[in-house]
Amino acid sequence: MQTPAPDEPVGVYVHVPFCSKKCDYCYYLSLTGRTRSEVDKYLEHVAAELSIFTDSTYIKGRPLAFVYVGGGTPSLLATAQMRDFFQTMRQRIGNYHSPETTFECAPKTTTRPRLDALAHSGVNRISMGVQSFDDELLRKNGRVHLSRDVYRAFAIIQEFGFEWVNLDLMAGMLGETRQDWRRTVSEAIRLNPDSVTIYQTEIPRNTQLYRDLVDGNLPAEPVDWDTKRERVDYAFGELERAGYTIVSAYNASKRPERRFQYQEHLWRGGDMIGLGLSSFSYLGGVHYQNAARPEHYRDELDQGRLPVQRAIRLSDHDRLTREFILQLKWGEVAAEDFRTKFGVNIFEEFGGPLQELRETGHLKLTDESVQITRKGLLCVDRLLPAFYSKEYSESPYW
C-alpha cells in the first residue's frame, strides 16, 4: 500500500455484535446470551485491534472522517462500557476529532443514562431501527420492540439535542399490507426526524426467515419486489411533500446539503478501518474482512496480528468501477470527478450498460452526469452488476 498523505482522513467502523435476540430477517453477524464480562473482553480486543492500526505508519496521525458504531445492538452496552470505549478511542487516536460520530440504537434499549453517556462521549448522530409502527408486524418478523418503545425512545433522544437523528424503516416486512406501510410512513413523518432511511426487506439464506421459507413455516406470504418498490416510491413521495429531499436510493433528508459522512467518504474511495467481528475494511485499494468466529478473532489479536479472514486487492479499473457503482446509489454521478481522479470518460468506459439502462428508463445521460431516474433508484442494487468486470459478474460468489 502506498502511504497516504498525512492529512488524508480515515473512517472508523466498529461492529458491536451483541443482541438480546436476532431478528428473523437479519443477516449480520450477531451474538446473543453473552455475559457482561464477555462483552468487556470483546471490547478489549477491539481496542487492541485499533492499536495495531494507530501504531502503523499508514494510519498514525491521520484525521478522522467519521466514527460509526453499528451492530448487532450497540445500545445493549452498559453506560460504563460506552464511556470507557470512547475514552479508549480518544487515547489511541492521538488527534481524535470526528466530524460525525454515529451510534445505532434500538428502541427497547434506548435509555436516558445510555444517551447521556453517548452525548458526553461526542456522539452527534443517532440512528434508530424502527422498521415498522405496526406491533403485529414487528412480532411476526422477530423484533423485540413494539411501537410504544419507539415513541418513548424518540422522545428521550429529542431531549438530548443530538445534531442528527435518523430513523430506519423496512418496506415489505413479512405480512405487511399497504395500509400498514402507509401508517408507518405517516408516523415516521409525524415524528419529524432529520432523515429517514428505508430498506427493502430481503430473505438471505443465513436468516430465520429463509429457514422458515424452506420449511414451509412462514407466518405470512413474502411481499414481492414490485410491491416493495411501489411502497418505497410512495414513501419517497410522502417524504418529499413533507419537506424532505431524496438523497440516495435509501435515504430522505431534511438537510440535503449535509451529506451522511459515512457514505460521502466511503463511496468516494476513502479509507475505512473496520473493527470487530466480521467487519469490512477498505485501505489503499484493498478490501478485507475480519474473522467471523469469535475464537479466531480473539486468538489472532492475542498474538498481535490483525484478524483478517479474506482480502482482495483492487486493480485501478476495479477501484474506478467500485466508486462509480456506489455513487450511482446517490442518483447522480458527475463525469468530471472521474476524469479528474481516474483520467477516464465514464460515458465511454461504461457505454454499453449505460445505453441499455437508458433505453429501459432506469437512467438519463447529460453532458456532465449520469442521472438515475426514480424508476432506477427504486431498484438500483439490481442494476449495479451490469457494470461489473466479467470476472466478477460470472463469479458464483455474487
Q: Measure the CA–CA gap between 154 and 194, rounded to whole angstroms.
A: 12
Q: Measure the CA–CA gap between 308 and 305, rounded to whole angstroms.
A: 8
What's the average model confidence in pLDDT over 43-56?
96
From the centroid of its chain, how far is CA 292?
Answer: 18
Decide if pLDDT at 299 tops 70: yes
Q: How does DSSP assign 232-292, residue by residue?
A: HHHHHHHHHHTT-EE-SSSEEES-TTS--HHHHHHTTT-EEEEESTT-EEEETTEEEEE-S
376 closest CA partner among 258, 255, 229, 225: 229
pLDDT of residue 392: 74
- Encode pLDDT of 341-394 as tens digits: 999 999 999 999 999 999 999 999 999 999 999 999 999 999 999 999 877 766
- Going by pLDDT thresholds of 50, 70 and 90, the confidence category of residue 398 is very low
Place of cell 445505453: 355
Our CA angle for 173, 179, 185, nearest 5°, is: 70
Of the CA atoms within 13 Å of residue 341, those in its CB half-sphere come to: 16
- Encode pLDDT of 55-79 as tens digits: 999 999 899 999 999 999 999 999 9
Structural domains in the chain, sorted by start: 10-265 (3.80.30.20), 317-393 (1.10.10.920)
pTM strictly above 0.75:
yes
Per-residue DSSP letter, 146: -
- Going by pLDDT thresholds of 50, 70 and 90, the confidence category of residue 1 is low
Q: Measure the CA–CA gap between 371 and 334, rounded to whole angstroms.
A: 9
Of the CA atoms within 13 Å of residue 209, those in its CB half-sphere come to: 22
Q: Measure the CA–CA gap between 375 and 246, rounded to whole angstroms.
A: 13
Identify the sign of the CA torsion 267, 273, 276, 280: positive
Q: 10 Å Cβ neighbour count for 95?
A: 10
Look at strands 369-372 and 332-334 and give their pairing. antiparallel
Query: What percentage of the chain carries pLDDT values higher than 90?
Result: 92
69 closest CA partner among 51, 89, 52, 54: 89
Q: What is the CA radius of gyration of the chain?
A: 21
| Beta carbons of 169 and 198 less than 8 angstroms apart | yes
Exposure string (b/e) for 34-61, b if CB count within 10 Å is 16 or more? eeeeebeebbebbbbbbbbbbeeeebee
